[in-house]
């Protein structure tokens, strides 16, 4: 979700500004450090190809994909998906728990998407908090067959897993006020026969949207809370104790824009807490004392476009609002993609049972909202 309070003028001038001056306004400046890793729409980097500064990604033709990136990973590799479903769009029209912001029915589209992707673990955002998260798990069970899926939710975030979820002692231990600080968290009990004795801990997050000072401050606080929780998880005592070297994921809709410095993403990556008085000292989130890694999924794994959100009817450029961060000391990324069905070949659509408009809202051209992100992880054994 994006709020539209930013002055339009700010959004229309970046091309001109970048062309004529190295002294960009702070709002439009590329950020130093981890947020500038993306070569595409989110990084308005001086000296980058002109295409990165255009307002429409369609200015650069992208070849249709054959869908090979959808191939199921080998045994022992975990497929993780994150998807902002736009307020309950995956549930039926007559569902009494639908959120008041619900504006699209994407029931069939969602079933086709998850059937093609076949994730092991999902992180959903914009699920009505009044809804029993198990309802989303039942939807997955119905769509994919097999054993019943498991669910845990907090606020509008829901973790779904084909494997058992341990939540006792693993949910975020923050006092549930304000509500904005809650995120779904769980330990996934992976089957030992396939993954060995290690399990997975994940935090499925939805950060505050909007460009106002209060919005940016809340995003920072949300990142501070998560970073604080990861310190707890790595150290004995308090609410969470993970076995050392347990793989950790922090994923979801982070609302990372190119219209502010997105310092909250830097906090998540590096463990640099802003409010240290309240949330403790800085602490790199990976087990080896380093930063988390960003999976950087690209559209259809082509390595050309890196946005996860797009709306051609508005003033905002497509951006990598959504992220999958991981402890790369114990996880190796073997595949990552943002699925864009509009850019799949006819053969690929037929092969995977997808339709070209499956990622669009109400089938309308140009209105994608959020796209599904996927990452495949191999578990690295630590000597």
282 near Ca ion, judged by CB under 5 A: yes
Q: Which position among 258, 266, 272, 294 is part of the footprint of Ca ion (CB under 5 A)?
A: 272
Q: Which position among 88, 120, 258, 328 is part of the footprint of Ca ion (CB under 5 A)?
A: 328
Q: Which stretch binds Ca ion (CB under 5 A): 34-42, 88-96, 129-137, 239-247?
A: 239-247
**Minimum Å distance from CB 278 to Ca ion?**
12
Q: Which residue number, 127 or 231, has a Cβ lying nearer to Ca ion?
A: 231
**Minimum Å distance from CB 292 to Ca ion?**
6
**Minimum Å distance from CB 127 to Ca ion?**
26
Please state, in angstroms and rounded to a whole number, the distance separating the CA atoms of residues 253 and 264: 12
Q: Which position among 95, 241, 312, 378 is part of the footprint of Ca ion (CB under 5 A)?
A: 241
266 near Ca ion, judged by CB under 5 A: no
Residues touching Ca ion: how many (CB under 5 A)?
14
Phi, psi (rounded to 5 degrees) for 175:
-60, 135
258 near Ca ion, judged by CB under 5 A: no
Q: Which residue number, 51 or 332, has a Cβ lying nearer to Ca ion?
A: 332
Please state, in angstroms and rounded to a whole number, the distance separating the CA atoms of residues 200 and 58: 38
232 near Ca ion, judged by CB under 5 A: yes
173 near Ca ion, judged by CB under 5 A: no
Q: Which stretch binds Ca ion (CB under 5 A): 8-16, 101-109, 231-239, 353-361?
A: 231-239
275 near Ca ion, judged by CB under 5 A: no
189 near Ca ion, judged by CB under 5 A: yes
Please state, in angstroms and rounded to a whole number, the distance separating the CA atoms of residues 290 and 308: 26
108 near Ca ion, judged by CB under 5 A: no
Positions in 192-211 near Ca ion (CB under 5 A): 192, 199
290 near Ca ion, judged by CB under 5 A: yes
Q: Which stretch binds Ca ion (CB under 5 A): 116-124, 128-136, 244-252, 283-291?
A: 283-291
238 near Ca ion, judged by CB under 5 A: yes
Closest C-alpha to 307, from 383, 224, 373 = 373
Cβ–Cβ contacts within 10 Å for residue 226, how many? 25
283 near Ca ion, judged by CB under 5 A: no
Q: Which stretch binds Ca ion (CB under 5 A): 70-78, 124-132, 269-277, 317-325?
A: 269-277
Q: Which residue number, 127 or 242, has a Cβ lying nearer to Ca ion?
A: 242
User: Contact 87/130 with Cβ under 8 angstroms?
Assistant: no
**Minimum Å distance from CB 62 to Ca ion?**
31
- Enumerate binding residues for Ca ion (CB under 5 A): 189-190, 192, 199, 232, 235, 238, 241, 272-273, 282, 286, 290, 328
């Amino acid at each position: 979700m994006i709020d539209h309070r930013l002055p339009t003028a700010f959004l229309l001038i970046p091309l001109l500004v970048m062309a004529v001056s190295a002294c960009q306004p702070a709002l439009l400046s590329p950020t130093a450090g981890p947020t500038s890793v993306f070569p595409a729409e989110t990084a308005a980097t001086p000296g980058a190809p002109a295409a990165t500064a255009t307002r429409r990604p369609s200015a650069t033709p992208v070849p249709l994909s054959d869908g090979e990136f959808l191939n199921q990973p080998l045994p022992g590799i975990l497929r993780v998906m994150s998807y902002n479903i736009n307020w309950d769009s995956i549930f039926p029209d007559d569902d009494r728990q639908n959120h008041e912001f619900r504006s699209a029915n994407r029931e069939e589209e969602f079933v086709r998407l998850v059937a093609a992707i076949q994730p092991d673990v999902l992180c959903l955002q914009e699920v009505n908090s009044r809804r029993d998260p198990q309802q989303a798990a039942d939807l997955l069970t119905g769509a994919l067959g097999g054993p019943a899926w498991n669910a845990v939710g907090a606020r509008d975030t829901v973790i779904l897993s084909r494997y058992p979820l341990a939540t006792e002692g693993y949910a975020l231990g923050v006092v549930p006020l304000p509500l904005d600080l809650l995120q779904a968290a769980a330990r996934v009990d992976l089957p030992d026969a396939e993954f060995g004795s290690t399990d997975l801990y994940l935090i499925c997050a939805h950060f505050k949207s909007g460009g106002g000072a209060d919005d940016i401050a809340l995003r920072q606080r949300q990142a501070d809370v998560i970073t604080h929780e990861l310190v707890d998880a790595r150290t004995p005592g308090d609410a969470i104790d993970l076995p050392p070297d347990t793989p950790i994921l922090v994923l979801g809709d982070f609302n990372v824009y190119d219209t502010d410095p997105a310092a909250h993403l830097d906090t998540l990556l590096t463990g640099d807490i802003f409010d240290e008085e309240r949330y403790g000292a800085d602490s790199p989130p990976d087990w080896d004392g380093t930063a988390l890694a960003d999976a950087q999924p690209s559209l259809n794994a082509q390595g050309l476009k890196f946005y996860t959100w797009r709306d051609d009817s508005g003033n905002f450029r497509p951006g990598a609002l959504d992220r999958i961060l991981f402890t790369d000391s114990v996880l190796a990324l073997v595949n990552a993609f943002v699925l864009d069905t509009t850019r799949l070949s006819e053969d690929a659509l037929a092969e995977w049972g997808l339709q070209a408009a499956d990622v669009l809202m109400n089938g309308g051209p140009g209105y994608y909202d959020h796209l599904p992100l996927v990452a495949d992880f191999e578990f690295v054994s630590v000597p």
